[in-house]
Amino acid sequence: MDRNSVIGFGLLILLLIGYVSYNNYSQNQFLEKKKADSVAYAKAHPKANIDSLKAAVKAAAPVATTADSAINDSLRKTMPAAYYGQASNITLENKDITLTLSTKGAHPVGALLKAYKTHDQKPLYFFNGESNQLSAVLPDGKTATADLFFTASQGNAANGDKTVDFVADLGNGKAVQVTYTLPNEGYMIGYKMTLKGMPGTNLPLTWHTAALHTENDLNTERTNAQVYYRYTDNEHDYFSFINTEKETLDKPVHWVGFRSQYFSTALINTDKEAFKKATVGGNAKLEDKNTVALSSNSFDIALNNSNEQTVNLNWYIGPNKYSILRSYKIELEDMVPLGYGVMAFVKYVNKWLIIPIFNVLSGFISNYGIIIILMTLIIRLILSFFTYKSYLSAAKMRVLKPEIDELRAQYSDDQQKFGMEQMKLYRSAGVNPLGGCLPTLFQLPILFAMYYFFPTSIELRQQKFLWANDLSTYDSIISWGGDIPVISSIFGNHISLFTILMTASSLFLALYNRNMTVQDPNNPMLKWMPYIFPFLLFGVFNKMAAALTFYYFASNMISIAQQFVIQKYIINEKAIHAQLQENKNKPATKSKWAERMEQMQQAQMEKAKQARKK
C-alpha cells in the first residue's frame, strides 16, 4: 500500500470519525429543538398528551371488560351490544400474509408472513399479541374503538379481494364500521372506518406495534429499530429508538413506518388531508428478549362533521424489501437504509448501480455467494481505471525515489527548502503527488455503498454459503456464553471467520506493497498504518453481516491479483523513467495549485529566517 493509498485510507478514517461526531452533534441539537417544541406544543394543546388521553378514555368509557365489573347482568342488557361481549379472532389471509383480527377493537393482533421463517426456522410473526392496537377516540371524546366489541362478517369484493366487515352498534343511531380489504397477493391492506350518527371535526388515532424477535442477533435488531415518516411535501425523516422515545412532527404527514431489521409496517393516509398533529415514538430498551421494540404513534385525522364520515387508510405489513416497497410508488423504499446522514449520497450509488447489478445477477444465479464474487469482479472492473492510475502514480514515485533521497540528504537541515525542491522535481517530471490519492478517494463511495447495502438486503437473509448459514448475519466459528471483560464488548460472543480472512488479506496486501511503495522516513505513522488499520476494523466488522466481510475479503484478493498483473505486465518502470527524464527537458508549466503551494512555502521560509534572526 503506497503513501497515497495510505492517505486515502487515512482520509476514510477521518471521514468516519467526522461522520460520527457530526451525527452526534446534529442529533443533540435536533433533540434540544424538539424538546423545546414539544413543551410549547403541550402547553398550547393539553389534550394532545397521549398518556393523559388514554387515562381519560379508560376512566370515562362505559366498558365492561373483566369478570369483576360493577355492571350487573340486568344493567348489561340495557346497554348497546358494542359495550360488552366476548372477544374472538378472525383470520384474513392471502398467499403472502395471514392477519389475525380481534372482534374487540377491530384491529390486527397478529401478522404471519408466510414466505419467511425466524432464525430458528419457526413461523415468522412480525407482531402477535394484544399489545398491538389501532384505536380511534370517537367524536364524543370518551369512547375508544379499542374498547368496543364488534360483530364480524367475511366476504369478497367485486374484484375478488377478500374483506372483513366489523360493526359496533352504539345505540341511538350511532355505529362504527371498520372494513379490511386484502388482495389475493401482496402485503398492502386496505382499511376503512365509517362513523354513523357521530358528527365531528377531528378523529384522534393511536397505533401501537410490538415487533417480535426474528433474527439471530437481538442487539442488531434493536439497533435497526427505527421510525420513518414522509411529510405531505415529500420530505422524509427518521429516528432511532436508542436516541429518543418520542417526537412531535411539525408538518402534515403522508405516512409513518416502523421497521425492525428486515420487516416493517407502515400506516398510509390515502385522503388528501393526511395526518395532523402526529407524534411518533417507541422503545427498544426492553427486558423482554422476545420483543425487539415497541412503536407508539398518534395522529389526528380531519373529519367533515357530517352524520356519516369515513377514514381511508392503507396499511403495509411485510418484508422491508426495496423492490416491494418501491412498487407502491410512495417512497416507502426509504425505509431501506441505503445511506443516510452525511453518507446520504451513497444511497444513489446503491439505487442506480449496486442494486441493478445485484438484481440482474440474482435473476439467473441462485447462489448468493457466487453473486457476491461476480459483483466484486464487476465493480473492480468498473474501478480499474482508477486502480491503474493509482498504481501508475506509485510507479512514478518509485522511479523518482533516488532523486528525492538526494534532495532529502542535501536539505536534511531545512525541510521547507526540501519541500520546495521536491515540488520542483515533481513539476519538472510531470508528476502529480496527489495522483495516487485521488483515485483512492473516488473509490470510497463504492466502499460506503457496500457497507450499507449488504446488511440491509433481505434477499441475503438465511442464504447459506460455505460455512456461513446466513449471509445476513455474522458467521461464527467460535462462540461462548456469558461476557468476557473487554473482549465481549469489542467482539461480542463470537469470532467471525470471514472477518479473520478479511483482516488477514488486508495485512497480506499491505506486506505485498511494502517493497513497492515509497516510504516517507519523516512520517513513520504512514509506514505502520496499513498494518494497524485492519486490526482497528476487526472488532467492528466481526459483528457485521457475513456477506459484507466476504465481499471485502474477495475484493482484497482480487486487488492483489489485479495489482500483480498491472505491475508485472502493464506498467513498465524503465519506460516511465525515460518519459519523466524527457519531461524534465520540456518547459515546465505551473498550475495554479503549484503556484499557490510554492508561494506558501516561500512565505514559511521567510518567517523562519526572520525567526532565526531574532
pLDDT in tens, 573-596: 677 667 666 666 665 555 555 566
Determine how many CB atoms are found less than 10 A away from the CB of residue 408. Answer: 16
Its pTM stands at 0.77
The residue with greater pLDDT, 609 or 184, is 184
Q: What is the pLDDT of residue 39?
A: 39
What distances in angstroms separate CA 216 from CA 117, 292, 472, 526, one per listed residue?
A: 12, 12, 9, 39
Averaged confidence pLDDT in the chain:
79
The C-alpha atoms of residue 300 and residue 357 are separated, in whole angstroms, by: 43
* CA angle (139, 140, 144) in 5-degree steps: 80
pLDDT in tens, 482-515: 777 777 777 778 889 999 999 998 888 877 776 5
Angle between helices 384-410 and 573-584 (to 10 degrees): 60
The residue with greater pLDDT, 518 or 153, is 153
Q: What is the pLDDT of residue 10?
A: 55
Domains identified in the chain and CATH numbers: 45-341 (2.70.98.90), 353-583 (no CATH)
Could you tell me the end-to-end alpha-carbon distance of the chain, in angstroms, rounded to an integer?
A: 44
| pLDDT range class, residue 65, cuts 50, 70, 90 | very low
What distances in angstroms separate CA 62 from CA 52, 88, 143, 155, 156, one per listed residue?
A: 18, 20, 8, 31, 34
Instruction: Find the mean pLDDT for residues 225-250.
Output: 82
Specify whether the CB–CB gap between 90 and 164 falls below 8 A. yes
| pLDDT range class, residue 133, cuts 50, 70, 90 | very high
Output b/e per residue, 217-244; b: 16+ Cβ within 10 A: bbebbbbbbbbbbbbeeeeebbbbbeeb
Q: What is the pLDDT of residue 123?
A: 95
| pLDDT range class, residue 49, cuts 50, 70, 90 | very low
pLDDT-above-70 percentage for the chain: 73
Specify whether the CB–CB gap between 76 and 63 falls below 8 A. no
pLDDT in tens, 313-367: 999 999 999 999 999 999 999 999 998 777 888 889 999 999 999 999 999 999 9
Q: What is the pLDDT of residue 31?
A: 42
The C-alpha atoms of residue 362 and residue 576 are separated, in whole angstroms, by: 43
Cell of 379: 465493480
Q: What is the pLDDT of residue 141?
A: 83
CA-nearest of 453, 447, 461 to 217 is 461
Please tell me whether residue 204 adopts helix, strand or coil conformation.
strand
Which of 116-125, 253-262, 267-276 has the lowest average pLDDT? 267-276
Q: What is the pLDDT of residue 303?
A: 87
Bridge partners, 309 (sequence order): 195
The C-alpha atoms of residue 612 and residue 614 are separated, in whole angstroms, by: 5
pLDDT in tens, 173-210: 899 999 999 999 999 999 999 999 989 888 999 999 99
Best-predicted range by mean pLDDT (78-82, 163-167, 403-407):
163-167
Best-predicted range by mean pLDDT (101-105, 382-386, 473-477, 563-567):
101-105
The residue with greater pLDDT, 181 or 391, is 181
| pLDDT range class, residue 519, cuts 50, 70, 90 | low
The residue with greater pLDDT, 404 or 181, is 181
419 pLDDT above the threshold of 80: no
Instruction: Find the mean pLDDT for residues 28-43.
Output: 45
Bridge partners, 104 (sequence order): 149
| pLDDT range class, residue 44, cuts 50, 70, 90 | very low
Determine how many CB atoms are found less than 10 A away from the CB of residue 474. Answer: 27
Q: What is the pLDDT of residue 523?
A: 54
Q: What is the pLDDT of residue 52?
A: 39
Instruction: Find the mean pLDDT for residues 18-40.
Output: 48
Q: What is the pLDDT of residue 254?
A: 93
The residue with greater pLDDT, 250 or 293, is 293
568 pLDDT above the threshold of 90: no
| pLDDT range class, residue 542, cuts 50, 70, 90 | confident
Instruction: Find the mean pLDDT for residues 28-52.
Output: 42
The number of C-alpha atoms within 13 Å of 347 and in the hemisphere containing its C-beta is 14
The C-alpha atoms of residue 229 and residue 232 are separated, in whole angstroms, by: 10
2 pLDDT above the threshold of 90: no
Angle between helices 3-44 and 444-456 (to 10 degrees): 50
